[in-house]
Amino acid sequence: SRYDGDGKLQDWWTDEDRAAFEERTKSLIAQYDALVPEGLSAEHHVNGALTIGENIGDLGGLGIALKAYEIALGGAEAPVIDGLTGVQRLLLSWAQVWQQKSREAETIRLLTIDPHSPNEFRCNQILRNIDAFYEAFDVTEADKLWLAPEERVTIW
């Protein structure tokens, strides 16, 4: 928002755009502040302010990937392969990217210095904010990853 399309330092957002962006990022920061990696105590939670830039990037990136997939289909139905729809396969690929094992001490260390959220949240918390995830896997209020529609954040 500080640089225009030519890369020149020029704030081109309206006051309304900036206010909407800040409100949405505040909501995303609050979501991440409440996250505690599996197996750790509540004192070792994600710092949403530290990770906000990368969280926005992950959220926007997956949203763009879904839109690109839709465009690539050109209105055609995606084939069902091995019982999975195209969107299901795309989202499963997203999840597989973030598989990781980490020692507890390293996870705690990274929580204090790394601008990236732990991988479990780069996967799951992003998906919780993506409507296509709920549609693809029939996620309901009874499911652990459910996030009420009014709590879901879209930045772009």
The string of pLDDT tens digits covering residues 60-92 is: 999 999 999 999 999 999 999 999 999 999 999
**pLDDT over 70 for what percent of the chain?**
100
pLDDT of residue 9: 92
pLDDT of residue 1: 73
Q: What is the mean pLDDT of the chain?
A: 96
Cα distance between residue 112 and residue 54, in whole Å: 15
Q: What is the widest separation between alpha-carbon atoms in the chain?
A: 50
pLDDT at residue 3 tops 90: no
Q: Which two tokens stand for residue 12?
A: 């081109």
**Confidence tier at 104 by pLDDT (50, 70, 90):** very high
Range 122-143 average pLDDT: 98
**Confidence tier at 156 by pLDDT (50, 70, 90):** confident
* pTM confidence score: 0.92
pLDDT at residue 29 tops 80: yes
**Confidence tier at 11 by pLDDT (50, 70, 90):** confident
Task: List the CATH code of the domain at 15-151.
Answer: 3.40.390.10
Q: Which two tokens stand for residue 42?
A: 């509540």
Range 126-131 average pLDDT: 98
Q: What residue segments make up the domains of the chain, in order of their start?
A: 15-151
**Residue 66: which of 138, 137, 130, 153 has the closest Cα?**
130
Cα distance between residue 138 and residue 146, in whole Å: 10
DSSP assignment of 81-127, as one string? BTTB-HHHHHHHHHHHHT-----HHHHHHHHHH-SSPPHHHHHHHHH
pLDDT at residue 57 tops 80: yes
